């Protein structure tokens, strides 16, 4: 995620790579500079992501010069909340400032000696999350700035700012749908109903996003999600697996989306087996877009400025779906989520976010009910069903034998 600096901001470095940044340019009037300091990791990117486990994490940053030092220079890397404010504003992200009690930055000076171009890398500790942080659903980030301790060396403002994004990695259970079909037959196929209490709901904009895991792509016409109002395609949306319509790949790993009018549109990129992937459907009143891992893969023009749904479901046609699949982190919004918002909030969001109608983490670890984390009471439920369509009420009862995996990071274990 970066924006190219203008020519004057690049006038600096003899022997250093061109700098790119998502923070803008504060050095536009400097002209040519003999030497200057910056964060080495900011040469190509303005942020990096660390996986924060139960024991925390460590990030490494390096103070560097554009050329060899003609003397000894000292610097320090410090937390700077303004860097995060600027980053969020420019990139459409909503990262939350990591609390002061959540990290440790060494206070010793970073020294670049005579003839050297870089200091010893500094190890920044991200401390274990508190329970409150874990429960918040926020994505935390630590913004830092490189500062000269004696003021003798110019510091490039734009390349001295960096963001450490914290991706919380923890043991989270995940449900495995259709796991009983092999032994139980048609009466053990699963359908997940998201019980929206205010349905039918008319949307002028909506986003539905979720994480998905599939062992193998063995069947076509495998509908993974569907919304419907019982009155035809004009108020209907579905996504299913098919073979590619533009390549020779006949494996049924290509999502296909349809809504309002035919024909359906097939994704330009395939899904991957045995990997958690993020899927998002975004309606803005003129088109319905399909995203895979934050990248646009299909765009379906829709001639209606609004759409109404009464039924909201995963696996809405269980009679066509017999192989296993897993979902988690499902969310329904009455807003258009941007590509940046999708990419930067795949694994969690704040349950109190504006426009969030329903949020099903699907991490209960047991049972067949998925609580709505927003507090709106729109709980989901997994049932046994052999229904042929979204609106078909056929059901055998709650899926009391639904299988759960203890850790979504070890689905094959």
User: What is the predicted pLDDT for the residue at 39?
Assistant: 97
User: In this structure, are residues 373 and 137 in contact, taking their beta carbons and an 8 Å threshold?
Assistant: yes
C-alpha neighbours within 13 Å on the C-beta side of residue 289: 19
**pTM recorded for the entire structure:** 0.79
Integer CA distances (angstroms), 28 to 10, 90, 159, 286, 351, in order: 9, 18, 13, 40, 41
Residue whose pair of structure tokens reads 């390349």 in the numeric block: 159
Residue whose pair of structure tokens reads 């700035």 in the numeric block: 145
Q: Which residues of 48-67 are buried (b: 16+ CB within 10 A; e: fewer)?
A: eebebeeebbebebbbbbbe
User: What is the predicted pLDDT for the residue at 176?
Assistant: 97
Coil, helix or strand for 185? helix
User: What is the predicted pLDDT for the residue at 350?
Assistant: 87
What pLDDT, in 10s, does the model give residues 181-236? 988 888 999 999 999 999 999 999 999 999 999 999 988 889 999 999 999 889 99
CATH architecture of 174-405: Sandwich (2.60)
CATH architecture of 3-168: Sandwich (2.60)
What pLDDT, in 10s, does the model give residues 145-172? 999 999 999 999 889 999 999 998 888 9
Domain ranges of the chain: 3-168, 174-405
174-405 has the same fold as 3-168: no
User: What is the predicted pLDDT for the residue at 9?
Assistant: 39
Low-confidence ranges of the chain (pLDDT < 50): 1-32
3-state secondary structure 223-277: EEEEEECCCCHHHEEEEEEECCCCCCCCCCCEEEEEECEEEEEECCCCCCCCCCE
User: What is the predicted pLDDT for the residue at 230?
Assistant: 93
Q: What is the CA radius of gyration of the chain?
A: 25
């Amino acid at each position: 995620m970066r924006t190219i600096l203008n020519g004057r901001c690049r006038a600096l470095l003899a022997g250093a790579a061109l700098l790119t940044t998502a923070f803008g340019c504060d050095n536009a009037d400097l002209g040519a500079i003999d030497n200057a300091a910056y964060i080495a990791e900011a040469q190509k990117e303005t942020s990096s992501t660390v996986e924060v486990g139960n024991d925390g994490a460590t990030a490494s940053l390096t103070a560097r010069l554009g050329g060899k030092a003609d003397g000894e220079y000292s610097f320090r890397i410090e937390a700077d909340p303004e860097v995060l404010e600027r980053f969020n504003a420019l990139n459409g992200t909503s990262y939350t400032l990591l609390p002061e009690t959540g990290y440790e930055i060494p206070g010793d000076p970073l020294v670049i000696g005579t003839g050297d171009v870089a200091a010893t890398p500094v190890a920044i500790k991200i401390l274990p999350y508190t329970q409150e942080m874990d429960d918040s659903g926020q994505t935390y980030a630590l913004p830092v700035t490189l500062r000269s301790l004696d003021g003798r060396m110019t510091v490039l403002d734009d390349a001295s700012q960096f963001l450490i994004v914290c991706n919380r990695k923890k043991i989270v259970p995940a449900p495995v749908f259709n796991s009983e079909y092999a032994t139980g037959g048609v009466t053990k196929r699963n359908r997940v109903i998201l019980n929206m209490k205010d349905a039918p709901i008319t949307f002028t904009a909506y986003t539905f996003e979720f994480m998905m895991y599939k062992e193998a792509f063995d069947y076509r016409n495998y509908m993974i999600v569907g919304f419907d109002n019982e009155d035809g395609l004009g108020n209907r949306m579905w996504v299913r697996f098919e073979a590619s319509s533009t390549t020779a790949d006949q494996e049924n790993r290509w999502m296909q989306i349809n809504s309002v009018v035919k024909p359906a549109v097939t994704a330009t990129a395939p899904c991957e087996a045995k990997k958690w992937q993020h899927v998002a459907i975004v309606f803005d009143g003129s088109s319905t877009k399909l995203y895979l891992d934050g990248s646009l893969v299909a765009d379906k023009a829709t001639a209606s400025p609004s759409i109404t749904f009464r039924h909201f479901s995963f696996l809405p046609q269980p009679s066509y779906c017999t192989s296993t699949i897993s979902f988690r982190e499902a969310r329904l919004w009455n807003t258009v989520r941007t590509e940046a918002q999708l990419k930067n909030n795949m694994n969690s969001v704040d349950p109190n976010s504006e426009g969030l109608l329903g949020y099903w983490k699907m991490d209960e670890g047991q049972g067949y009910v998925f609580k709505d984390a927003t507090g709106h009471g729109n709980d989901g439920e997994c049932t046994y069903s052999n229904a042929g369509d979204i609106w078909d009420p056929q059901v055998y009862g709650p899926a009391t034998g639904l299988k759960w995996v203890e850790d979504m990071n070890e689905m094959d274990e």
